[in-house]
With several copies, the nearest count.
Chain A
Amino acid sequence: QDTKIGFIVKQPEEPWFQDEWKFADQAAKEKGFTLVKIGAEDGEKLMSAIDNLGAQGAQGFIVCTPDVKLGPGIVAKAAANNLKLMTVDDRLVGADGKALEDVPHMGISATKIGEAVGQAIVDGMKARGWKADEVGAIRVSYDQLPTAVDRVEGAISVLKANGFKAENIFDAPQAKTDTEAALNAATVVLNAHADIKKWVSFGLNDEAVLGAVRASESVGIPADGMIGVGIGGADSAINEFKKPTATGFVGTVIISPKRHGYETALNMYDWVANNKEPEKLILTSGALAKRDDYQKVRQGLGIE
């Protein structure tokens, strides 16, 4: 019987997940198994997707869940369909909020990524010789999404540890997760605090930070008055680095879709085909990419 493995992701349109799928496909080609890619934006779609995989006769699947609290449900559903289960990116938790340690997982914690962003910002400020109390921070927030909260809180914790004052951190809630919404929200913050000339910004992803950077440009803050650090490192960030002149978007924390996609798929294949159980927990780390070194960083992560 052919080996069939599912790969379910929460936001199929996002470049990040596209890349994960792409690298998983690469593994599928190498090992000769079938990869079934399904997008599931919410819990209900996810449950249907698992049923669907069961119906297709898959033997196991990898999932990046739309919500970690779905944990027990996913585990039960997988068992009911007799499917092996691994998670990627986001780790499942039980009703008590503790991680489900039985489910093999590969990922990086949202707080960790946020801390990397915070560190990059702090380094940038040091390089420019900014003092913490003359700088304003735009927290482009999307609190509806728990991961987004964890990421920005991670960044904030590092800022605070480096002497940033809480009252200089301004919330710019985006109504949607696209650049335009972030741009509009950040514009308001910038205009409300016209006296602050030096800004840093961070958010859920590259698009959010890009919005803040665009906002700073539109109100006339020069590129050297803004330090924005994004998360993801997909094309929207790379495009920014490719611009002829530097912008306030100084860097992005790249996570490797190759490891997350290729390795998980490979591990699942080994589990299914050779009954070799994967490690319970593999933690990856993000790498900061900047205008001058992004190509190198990407090569290092095996995604160029």
Chain B
Amino acid sequence: MTDQLKKILLGEQGLVVIFVVAFALVSLLVPNFLTDRNMLGLLQSVVTVGIVACTMMFCLAARDFDLSVGSIVAFAGMVAVMASNYTGSILLGLLAAIACGAFVGFINGVVIAKFRINALITTLATMQIVRGLALIASDGRAVGINSPDFYQLALSKFLGIPTPVWVLALLFCIFGFVLNRTVFGKNTLAIGGNPEASRLAGVNVDRTRIWIFALQGVVCGIAGILLASRITSGQPNAAVGLELSVISACVLGGVSLAGGRATMSGVIVGVLIMGIAENAMNLLNIPAFYQYIVRGVILLLAVLLDNLRSSALGRR
């Protein structure tokens, strides 16, 4: 019995188990937590972080770093709104946003992979440049959406669940599959695990890295569109600091900053833990200043638990 329990707790999916236990506890202890409405609200609140975490996972797994995601999300949202307003076609707006995201990501990738400039500095630079562009394009003010159909992206539901949550779930599935079952995913992990060995084995390291950043851009574009639809405007100041939330969700989910280690289930758990913490704190009416402390303690506890688990498991 205890043996079996140990096996479950310490297995590959241990983080998930810890999460389930924590979730059950929160459900019991926090009033109004386990209601349909709150669950939907919770899921919607993690859409942006969750979507961007999908590709950030790849980025970190390949030993890279992307600080520009917040800016790209804001920029793509602006582009979606402005292009929709300008062309009168929402579809064109969406395409433009995704194209812009992909373009910025591609530039990131090329600069990092081809000119061999540190990813931190490169994406810090594009973070500033893209944010500047968003501010210039909008003169620092939010841009309203002409067509109410645009709101429907975020408001529409399918089987009672809002579209953005479906999109999130879909992306989780896609990128989970890509990570484990495709050449691209394995190459990513190999590059992070040992770049030199991957290069010598004939993996096209540069091209893979460029792809990762370009994908990151596309995904940020999608996140930007959904965000703009949700807040019914394109805001140049949106998603400031998103990079830190996303990276912490990933690391919390067991993605190694030293590269080579990542699982989709871990990242999902990381994203949800962060979302639940925020949600529960607001439900419990914890004062703003104390929320800082609680947030910090939860982060620490989550990693500590996972660490105890894996060191009990004997891995280092």
Residues in chain A within 8 A of chain B (CB atoms): 12-15, 18, 36-39, 41-49, 51-52, 54-57, 66-73, 76, 80-81, 93-97, 141-146, 149, 170-173, 175-176, 178-180, 183-185, 187-192, 194, 207, 210-211, 214-215, 217-219, 234-236, 238-240, 242-245
Q: Which residue of A lies closest to B49 (CB)?
A: A44
User: Within 8 Å of chain A (Cβ to Cβ): is B55?
Assistant: no
Cβ–Cβ < 8 Å partners of B103 in chain A: none
Q: Does B141 lie within 8 Å of A173, measured CB to CB?
A: no
A205 to chain B, nearest CB (A): 11
Contact residues, B126-145 vs A (CB, 8 A): 135, 139-145
* Min C-beta distance of A173 to chain B, whole Å: 4
Docked pose: A234 CA to B139 CA in angstroms: 12
Contact A51:B41 (CB < 8 A) given known A70-B231, A178-B240, A191-B35: yes
* In-complex Cβ contact of A69 among B144, B230, B291 (8 A): B144
- Tell me if B115 counts as interface (CB < 8 A to partner A): no
Once bound together, how far apart are the Cα atoms of A230 and B272, in whole Å?
A: 31
A72-B151, A189-B282 known; 4 new pairs, CB 8 Å cut-off, are: A43-B230, A52-B282, A184-B41, A188-B282
CA gap between A198 and B231 in the complex, in Å: 21
Which B residues contact A (CB, under 8 angstroms)? 31-32, 35, 37-38, 40-41, 44-45, 48, 135, 139-146, 148, 151, 154-155, 162, 227, 230-233, 235-241, 278-279, 282-283, 285, 287-289, 291
Q: Name the residue of chain B whose CB is nearest to the CB of A220.
A: B37
**B240 and A48 form a contact (CB under 8 A):** no
Report the bound CA distance from A68 to B38 in whole Å: 26
B residues in contact with A72, CB < 8 Å = 144, 151, 232-233
A82 to chain B, nearest CB (A): 10
A184 / chain B contacts, CB cutoff of 8 Å: 41, 44-45, 278
In the complex, chain B residues whose CB is within 8 Å of the CB of A187: 41, 44-45
Give chain A residues whose Cβ lies under 8 Å from the Cβ of B139.
Answer: 18
Contact between B278 and A179 (Cβ–Cβ < 8 Å)? Answer: no
Q: Check if A38 sits within 8 Å of B233, measured CB to CB.
A: no
The residues of A that contact B230 with a CB separation of less than 8 Å are 43-44, 47, 73, 180, 183, 214, 218
A44, B240: Cα distance in complex, Å: 11
Bound form: Cα–Cα A221–B93 in Å:
29
Smallest CB–CB gap between B125 and chain A, Å? Answer: 15
- Decide: A95 and B146 in contact? CB cutoff 8 A: yes
Contact residue among B144, B151, B227, B241 (Cβ-Cβ distance under 8 Å from A235): B144
Q: List 9 A-B contacts (CB under 8 A).
A: A44-B239, A47-B231, A49-B282, A54-B41, A55-B38, A69-B235, A143-B287, A144-B140, A183-B45
Please name all residues of chain B whose beta carbon is closer than 8 Å to the beta carbon of A234 when the two chains form the complex: 141-142
Q: Once the chains bind, are A76 and B41 in contact (CB under 8 Å)?
A: no
**Min CB–CB distance A275 → chain B (angstroms):** 24
B141 touches A176 (CB 8 A): no
Cα distance A47–B289 in the bound complex, in angstroms: 21
Give chain B residues whose Cβ lies under 8 Å from the Cβ of A69: 141-144, 232-233, 235
Neighbouring B residues of A211 by C-beta, 8 Å? 231
A52 and B38 CA atoms in complex are apart in Å by 6
Q: How far is the CB of B97 from chain A (nearest CB, A)?
A: 16
Smallest CB gap from A217: residue in B: B155
Q: Which residues of A contact B142 (CB under 8 A)?
A: 15, 67-70, 146, 207, 234-236, 239
Complex Cα distance A82/B241, Å? Answer: 31
Complex contacts, A215 vs chain B, CB 8 Å: 41
Residue of A nearest to B230 (CB): A47
Which of A41, A144, A149, A171 gathers the greatest number of chain B CB atoms within 10 Å?
A: A144
A96 to B233, CA, bound (A): 11
Q: Which of A39, A81, A172, A187 has the most CB of B within 10 A?
A: A187
A97 touches B144 (CB 8 A): yes
A188 touches B283 (CB 8 A): yes
Are B289 and A143 in contact (CB-based, < 8 A)? yes
8 A-B pairs closest in CB distance: A239-B144, A51-B41, A95-B144, A43-B231, A69-B142, A73-B232, A55-B38, A236-B142
Q: Which residues of B contact A37 (CB under 8 A)?
A: 285, 287-288
For B283, list chain A residues within 8 Å (CB).
Answer: 52, 55-56, 188, 192
- List the B side residues contacting A217 at CB < 8 Å: 155
By the criterion CB–CB under 8 Å, are A95 and B145 in contact? yes
Contact assessment for B135 and A13 in the assembled complex, using a CB-CB cutoff below 8 Å: yes
B48 surroundings in chain A (CB, below 8 A)? 44, 180
Is A43's CB under 8 angstroms from B227's CB?
yes
Q: How far is it, in angstroms, between the C-alpha of A51 and the C-alpha of B155 when the chains are bound?
A: 13
How close is A108's CB to chain B, nearest CB, in angstroms? 20
Tell me the complex Cα distance, A39–B116, Å.
33
How far is A146 from B151 in the complex, measured between Cα atoms in Å?
23
Contact among B38, B143, B227, B291 for A188, CB-based, below 8 A: B38
**Given the contacts A76-B151, A188-B282, A15 and B144 also touching, CB distance less than 8 Å:** no
Distance between Cα atoms of A45 and B72 in the complex (Å): 18
B237 x A144 contact (CB < 8 A): yes
Beyond A55-B41, A211-B231, is A43–B140 a contact (Cβ under 8 Å)? no
Given contacts A51-B37, A55-B38, contact A13 B144 (CB under 8 A): no
CA distance A95 to B283 in the complex (A): 31
Closest chain B residue to A36 by CB distance? B285
In the assembled complex, the Cα of A185 lies from the Cα of B145 at a distance in Å of: 23
Contact present for B144 and A172 (CB under 8 Å)? no
Closest Cβ of chain A to B200, distance in Å, is 44
With A55-B38, A189-B282 already in contact, the answer to whether A180 and B240 are too (CB < 8 A) is no
B291 x A173 contact (CB < 8 A): yes
